[in-house]
A = this chain, B = another copy of it.
Amino acid sequence: MPESLQQPVREALLDAFWRYERALMSNDLDALDVLFAPGDGTIRGDAAGILVGHDAISGFRKGRGGAPARDVLHVQVIDIADDAALVIAVTAPLTGGRGQQSQLWRRVAGSWVVAAAHVSLPAPAVNSSIWRTVGTPLVAGAPTGALLGETVAVKDLFEVEGFPVGAGIPAYLAESMPATGTSPAVASLLAAGASITGIARTDEFAYSIAGRSPHYGTPPNPAVNGAVPGGSSSGPVSAVATGQASIGLGTDTAGSIRVPASYQGLWGLRSTHGAVSMDRLVALAPSFDTVGWITRDAATLLAAAGSSLDAQRQRAVEPRFVIAQALAAHVEPGVGEAFGVAVAGLEATEVDLGDIDDLFRTFRTVQAAEAWRTHGAWIEAHPGALGEDVAARFAFASTITAEQESAGRAALATARARLESVLGDSVLLVPSASSIAPSVQADAALIERTRQDTLRLTCIAGLTGRPAVSAPLLGVPQPGALLPAPVGPRFADLAVIGLADGLTPTE
């Protein structure tokens, strides 16, 4: 069956193979570009997913900064035709382990080029962009309970007895002593039978929604190869998306559960403000801080939330939906369209939330004042400890005057009263984020614009203390995930999960 390549043709193939290997080792991007087939059909895949098209692959290489040094242990050529062969190589990275590479080579106009490549590299002991500490398990749960068999990624803000808290900042971790107790939010999950897999990354002091860390690398987003994971619960969310845990335990002040859940096509609940104890947990802005969970399906989210919320205080909710067109201005066209399709037929009533920019400014003022009160002294004592983005945010927070804060709190009380009267017992439907996950290579301006728009959507739950579910209901337009977040009445957490689950289109 397999035709044998003629000797000169085979030699030319192997010559191209080794030229490619040398170019890879010297990070000769031009040579690599020439050796990959031009056009939109060329494919490169690795553990993170596939890239399609010569230019996407070229862009990936530019951002990578070189492939890990390696020896080629073994090369096997499978002849296919006189212009096609599969070349399989087993590699030995100098840092240990084994890699594997399968390349489909085609001979085009007399030159051999790679038409498709599949690359496997040895896994690290732990993906340090997702996790700080991992065990098998790190902490065992109760032997029975509703969460038996579930595995938890705990955001590095919660205390777990015997381990320090890092809050996403190496200097903070370095000064942190092992906790002498365990946060109630963690203990609830353990008591219900879940085990703790590990302590996962957070954006610095949870004061970001992008999920990019200047210290530990950016956690992967398996739903959108090459995109940011979203934050600040970036580690727990990526742990759940990659299958390394089944429940992410996080916090949500201004969207830190909902945004990464949306970016990665997962389920997430920001719980009613005050419904779950915030003890033994690094705060950001206590007026808005809440505990929340991220899962791959609604049933697990319901179980996780159900194990942690006081059932006596939970209430039911009618499927009476409202929407606010004023939020549409802050949503990208693709998100707006998908959202329109999703809510069509729900008989959602339009409500007037007031001036969204005003609402956001009120939220931001009080949040910033509280964030600085929480962390300002530590930050001033540790110059240089924070990355640029979050340092700039705290610098802004430090400028909020007592008068501004006081005015903000008055405006907050007014806004709350008005929003409560408008929303009442109904459920507000709103996209969880203004866009799909931006690229990790996005410039700071784009990330900031996305942030500004998304926070206008997420702040409604923050201002009202209402629970909000991020659910992957807008479909997953390849490859992004766009999600509406029902924002329900306070203490309707579980009911709103159920409502959202009821909205899920059946296939």
Task: Note all chain B residues with C-beta closer than 8 A to A128.
Answer: 136
Asked whether A84 is an interface residue with its Cβ less than 8 Å from the other chain, the reply is: yes
Asked whether A501 is an interface residue with its Cβ less than 8 Å from the other chain, the reply is: no
Is there contact, CB below 8 Å, between B84 and A46? no
Is there contact, CB below 8 Å, between B116 and A126? no
Interface string of A116-146 (1 = CB under 8 A from B): 1010101111111011111110100000000
Asked whether A345 is an interface residue with its Cβ less than 8 Å from the other chain, the reply is: no
Asked whether A470 is an interface residue with its Cβ less than 8 Å from the other chain, the reply is: no
In-complex Cβ contact of A125 among B78, B95, B131 (8 A): B131
Docked complex Cα distance between A20 and B106 (Å) = 26
Is there contact, CB below 8 Å, between B138 and A88? no
Which residue of chain B lies nearest to A244 when distances are taken between CB atoms in the complex?
B125
Query: Of the 9-residue stretches A97-105, A302-310, A415-423, A458-466, which lies at the interface with chain B?
Result: A97-105
Interface residues contributed by chain A, number (CB under 8 Å) = 68
Query: Of the 9-residue stretches A234-242, A320-328, A359-367, A398-406, which lies at the interface with chain B?
Result: A234-242
Count of chain copies: 2
| Distance from A52 Cβ to chain B, minimum over Cβ atoms (Å) | 8
Asked whether A271 is an interface residue with its Cβ less than 8 Å from the other chain, the reply is: no
| Distance from A308 Cβ to chain B, minimum over Cβ atoms (Å) | 21
| Distance from A507 Cβ to chain B, minimum over Cβ atoms (Å) | 11
Docked complex Cα distance between A476 and B48 (Å) = 32
Is there contact, CB below 8 Å, between A243 and B126? no
Which residue of chain B lies nearest to A90 when distances are taken between CB atoms in the complex?
B50
Which residue of chain B lies nearest to A48 when distances are taken between CB atoms in the complex?
B98
CB contact under 8 A between A88 and B50, given known A102-B45, A120-B45, A178-B162: yes
CB contact under 8 A between A122 and B47, given known A78-B116, A97-B242, A136-B133: yes
Asked whether A506 is an interface residue with its Cβ less than 8 Å from the other chain, the reply is: no
Asked whether A383 is an interface residue with its Cβ less than 8 Å from the other chain, the reply is: no
Task: Note all chain B residues with C-beta closer than 8 A to A63.
Answer: none
Task: Note all chain B residues with C-beta closer than 8 A to A49.
Answer: 90, 98, 100
Is there contact, CB below 8 Å, between A2 and B244? no
In-complex Cβ contact of A127 among B123, B130, B151, B239 (8 A): B123
CB contact under 8 A between A96 and B242, given known A41-B78, A104-B86: yes
Asked whether A81 is an interface residue with its Cβ less than 8 Å from the other chain, the reply is: yes
Asked whether A214 is an interface residue with its Cβ less than 8 Å from the other chain, the reply is: no
Docked complex Cα distance between A90 and B44 (Å) = 12
Asked whether A495 is an interface residue with its Cβ less than 8 Å from the other chain, the reply is: no
CB contact under 8 A between A132 and B135, given known A102-B116, A125-B239, A240-B96: yes
Asked whether A64 is an interface residue with its Cβ less than 8 Å from the other chain, the reply is: no
Which residue of chain B lies nearest to A41 when distances are taken between CB atoms in the complex?
B78
CB contact under 8 A between A96 and B126, given known A81-B81, A115-B78, A135-B133: no
Asked whether A1 is an interface residue with its Cβ less than 8 Å from the other chain, the reply is: yes
User: 20 new A-B pairs (CB below 8 Å) besides A47-B120, A86-B115, A128-B136?
Assistant: A2-B115, A41-B78, A46-B120, A74-B478, A78-B116, A84-B84, A95-B243, A95-B246, A96-B242, A96-B243, A96-B296, A97-B222, A97-B241, A100-B118, A102-B116, A104-B104, A122-B222, A125-B197, A125-B239, A133-B133
Q: Give the top 5 A-B pairs by smallest Cβ distance, nearest first.
A: A96-B243, A125-B244, A97-B243, A102-B118, A128-B136
Q: Sample 25 A-B pairs with CB under 8 A, ordered by A number.
A: A41-B78, A43-B88, A45-B90, A47-B120, A50-B76, A52-B76, A78-B115, A80-B80, A80-B106, A81-B84, A84-B84, A88-B116, A96-B243, A96-B246, A97-B243, A102-B118, A125-B126, A125-B130, A125-B244, A126-B126, A126-B134, A131-B136, A133-B135, A133-B136, A134-B134
